[in-house]
Structure 1
Amino acid sequence: MGAAKIKKGDNVVVLSGKDKGRSGTVQQVMPKEGKVVVEGVNVVARHRKPTQQNPQGGIDRFPAPMNISKVAVADPKDGKATRVRFEEKDGKKVRIAVKSGETIDG
């Protein structure tokens, strides 16, 4: 498997699905499943019965994992979706936004 193009803390844009066009921060990456959890995107509701830990019960809303192919890294310059390439700078491998040429990390 190649290097991770999407990492925790990245700003990403949703490319398809019910949340197409929305953006958010990656909360979790699951590389083996090929999924990511993005803050405020793909929010699902779970109806919970009252239990001893949660005597009130109610509806829990939380972001569900989505396929990593449905998101793209947001360009640091304009916030639109971009592809990522890798370059070596000062002996360190860094991610570069293809659209603008800006470095995404360090």
Structure 2
Amino acid sequence: MTELAQITLTQCPNTKFIVSGYSQGAMVVHNAFRTGLSPPEASGAILFADPLRRPPITGLPAAKIQQFCGTTENICGGGGDGGATGGHISYIASADSAIKAAGLP
């Protein structure tokens, strides 16, 4: 993710983008900010079922982060890993909210 973002910014320096991930993909977002993606380069982050929701993303202001963790979620909700069942596979309904929260059309 870090490499792709940096390639994009090299080729199109005025590009604004939001990084996003679901479950382990959300962990990739955290790692991208730890391994070279700087907060000014990303306009924000949208995370679904983020197992690493605490601590927040390194260096990115909380106002630029949208997190979705279902009330029955056992991955990001702290109830143990519990497998990808129940609330962990119900995030399709959050997609529209995420887009609106990020200010995207």
TM range (shorter): under 0.3
With normalisation by structure 2, the TM-score equals: 0.22
Q: Which structure dedicates a bigger proportion of its chain to strand?
A: 1
| Higher-Rg member (1/2) | 1
